[in-house]
Amino acid sequence: MAVDGHEVIDLHAHIVLEDAFGHAGRYGPTLTDDDSGRPTFRVGSYEMKPMPYRGSLFMNVEKRLAVMDDIGIDRQMLSPNPLTFFGGVESEAATGFARVTNEAMAATVAADPDRLIGSAQIPLQDVAAAQRELDRAAAAGLVAAYIGTDYGIALDDVRLDPFYRQLVELDLPLFIHPATNDGRSPAADQRLHRFGLDLIVGYTYEETLTVATLVLGGVFDRHPDLDVCISHGGGAIAYLVERFDSMARFRRQPADFGDQLRHLWFDAHMEPGPARQLLVDLVGAERMVYGTNLGGWDTPAAADAFDASLSANARRLLRQTATEEGRTSP
């Protein structure tokens, strides 16, 4: 399945794990049929319907592997479902759900280690609980931590420094992806509830804000060895870099925002075209990794040569090496 002789590694692919259903207490999640027979996925008061997860590649590994073959993907890192990050619920519910999710994730990837690797859900609203869960997940063989963008605490808050230090000590990367809900209810801005804008504009806003917070908040100054990968090319960050530098000059601060972005990794799950090229020109393709959102509305039809060229970056980010057969190993 290699493209142009390169193994293809996909680092943006969510999974729905039935073993975790109901383990966030009253927040669910649940997957049931409504009165009209439409499959409905509920998280807190947030509902998505129809949401035919059951029987789809999100819940069926055999179907996932078949679609990976069709697209040309050799290996894939599975990540938690953004609908169930539970960033806005109490620690007990978020921690219980993360624990079961990570156990199910580890079991899923262990069943097919040649094709699948797993990342860990982290209950970041409780830093001590997050650290305990990170230790458990790493011991279970999960290769990265995966979080949302909003846990009621800014991602540059020094209270998160022990978690960031632990990632460095465990030599694990951190992946960040937005969510359309906080585990209790959907986005408060009603304007995002039409035309799929929560997935387009809402995600882009959260990703841009996250990059700015990490860079301007000094996270990489305090943790220079921390590896963080942002979804969807970091939102609108490449488009706004000159604006950030203009604000820095106005505030009599160093105007080096573009240079600071090279501390980050970026998921290249973006449509090919000027936006992606702008990011390549800004940070270099060597700071980008391939992603598909497999099974989602924006899944690409096939991996191309550019996508395959990013697999060496994925191996570096995941601390893996290439083997003679073209596979990767820890």
Domain ranges in the chain are: 9-18+61-324
Token pair recorded at residue 51: 């949401």
CA–CA gap between residue 285 and residue 306 (Å, rounded): 9
Which residues of the chain form beta strands (DSSP E)?
9-14, 30-33, 39-43, 46-48, 75-79, 116-118, 120-121, 145-147, 174-176, 228-230, 265-267, 288-289, 321-322, 328-329
Task: Note the pLDDT of residue 6.
Answer: 77
Query: How confident is the prediction along the chain (330 residues), in pLDDT tens digits per residue?
Result: 667 677 999 999 999 999 999 999 999 999 999 999 999 999 999 999 999 999 999 999 999 999 999 999 999 999 999 999 999 999 999 999 999 999 999 999 999 999 999 999 999 999 999 999 999 999 999 999 999 999 999 999 999 999 999 999 999 999 999 999 999 999 889 999 999 999 999 999 999 999 999 999 999 999 999 999 999 999 999 999 999 999 999 998 888 999 999 999 999 999 889 999 999 999 999 999 999 999 999 999 999 999 999 999 999 999 997 653 445 555
Give the pLDDT of residue 22: 97
Residues in Cβ contact with 112 at an 8 Å cutoff, skipping those fewer than 6 apart: 61, 65
Crossing angle of helices 237-250 and 203-216, in 10° steps, is: 40
Helix (H) or strand (E) holding 104: helix 91-110
CATH architecture of 9-18+61-324: Alpha-Beta Barrel (3.20)
C-alpha span between 157 and 213 (Å, rounded) = 9
pLDDT, position 254: 86
pLDDT at 255: 87
pLDDT at 2: 64
- State whether residue 143 is helix, strand or coil: coil
pLDDT at 324: 38
Give the predicted TM-score (pTM) of the model.
0.95
Residue 327: per-residue pLDDT: 52
